[in-house]
Chain A
Amino acid sequence: MKLYIKYDINEICKKILQEQLDRLSLSYVLLGYSEVEIKEDISNDKLKELHAGLNSYGIEVVESSKNILVQKIKDVIIEMIYENDKLPSSKISAYLADKISHSYGYIANVFAEVTYTSVENFIILHRIEFAKKLITIDELSFTEISHKLNYSSLAHFCTQFKNTTGLTPSAFKRIILKRREAALNNT
């Protein structure tokens, strides 16, 4: 039997973080999804142990200030996309600049330098990724998905999906379903 599951990545990461920090009996505060403030002086050995523990889960401690900034930008964008009510009424560039407290020009430059992609493309990519997730869960129609993601119309959604992936939403769905079928037949 095969089960398909949904999960909340942020919740999982938070649990792992807490586990690892508790294991070293550190006193800390979690700030948002990707920031931890350690409330004590930490020895280099302990720090290394923490890095190693987190690394085994594919979690990396980012150190460069640019990396940190980029991580913050990504968090803001992801939150904006996945939590519908957080969609800003102002322009996205102004919203980011306000949330990150840097000029949008600076944000855009650092982002492109570190990720090789622009903020705009990143937003499109994540919206489409969210759409894919909804398609694979197979509970909403394409029209409902396009509303949920705030596209002005189904056509606009389909066009952006096709431009981003080279596939139409229905071709994407067909392929994912056939893959599942193939995986089921293999086991």
Chain B
Amino acid sequence: MQNEPIHVLLADDDEDDRLFFSDAIKELKMNTVVNVVKDGQDLIDYLLQTDVTLPHVLFLDLNMPIKTGLECLKEIKNIDRLKNIAIAIYSTSASEKDIEETFIRGANVYIKKPSSFTSLKKVLSEVITLNWQYHTSGLDRNNFLLSL
């Protein structure tokens, strides 16, 4: 049986991080479709296209030029069509303040970027499967909070 593909989107300005991320996802044994955008403006433009398949989960780097992750988070949460996308903050910072701040603004997941490929795979697999449970088991998305 073929499950419906899981759509994943990453917004990150660092090319190495984008590669690292896509490679890790490809190695998970899941039916995923990965897209990447390179900054915040790019992300909003991408999501606002009328014919785009919205991602099941968006991985969002906080520290990006032009438009920061936090600004994107705010914008996305104010657009009806987009506000239900699960958002996973994907950041090098892991200060308690940043974590709570992004959660309060509507993020679902906070990931401190892992340094090893193995731990990245593990973290991504955890986020994607958990998000999938929310998507397929009728759980209350407002209560979806995960800090890794």
Chain A residues within 8 Å of B, Cβ to Cβ: 9, 64, 66-67, 74, 113-117, 122, 125-126, 129, 132-133, 136, 165-167, 171-172, 174-176, 178-179, 182
Contacts and interface: CB of A to CB of B under 8 A. Distances in A.
A129 B136 contact: no
Contact of A117 (B129, B140, B142, B148): B129
Interface residues of B, number: 25
A166 B146 contact: yes
A167 B143 contact: no
A125 B100 contact: no
Contact of B140 (A66, A67, A122, A129): A129
A174 B147 CA distance: 14
Contact of A172 (B3, B105, B129, B145): B145
Given A64-B1, A116-B129, A74 B145 contact: no
B147 A165 contact: yes
A129 B143 contact: yes
27 contacts: A9-B138, A64-B1, A67-B1, A74-B137, A115-B132, A116-B30, A117-B129, A117-B130, A117-B133, A125-B133, A129-B139, A132-B140, A132-B143, A133-B143, A136-B142, A136-B143, A165-B146, A166-B110, A166-B146, A166-B147, A166-B148, A167-B145, A167-B147, A171-B100, A174-B100, A175-B103, A179-B103
B104 A175 contact: yes
B40 interface: no
A167 B143 CA distance: 12
A178 B148 CA distance: 21
A116 B143 contact: no
Contacts of A133: 140, 143
Contacts of A126: 137, 139
Interface in B115-148: 128-130, 132-133, 136-140, 142-143, 145-148
A165 B1 contact: no
Among B100, B110, B129, B145, which residue has the most Cβ atoms of chain A within 10 A? B145
Contacts of B30: 116
A158 to B, nearest CB: 15
Given A9-B138, A129-B140, A133-B143, 19 more contacts: A64-B1, A66-B1, A67-B1, A113-B1, A115-B136, A117-B129, A117-B133, A126-B139, A129-B139, A132-B140, A136-B142, A136-B143, A166-B145, A166-B148, A172-B145, A174-B100, A176-B142, A179-B103, A182-B104
A84 B72 CA distance: 42
A178 B146 CA distance: 16
B100 A175 contact: yes
A148 B33 CA distance: 40
B106 interface: yes
Nearest to B31: A116
Contact of A116 (B105, B132, B139, B140): B132
Contacts of A174: 100
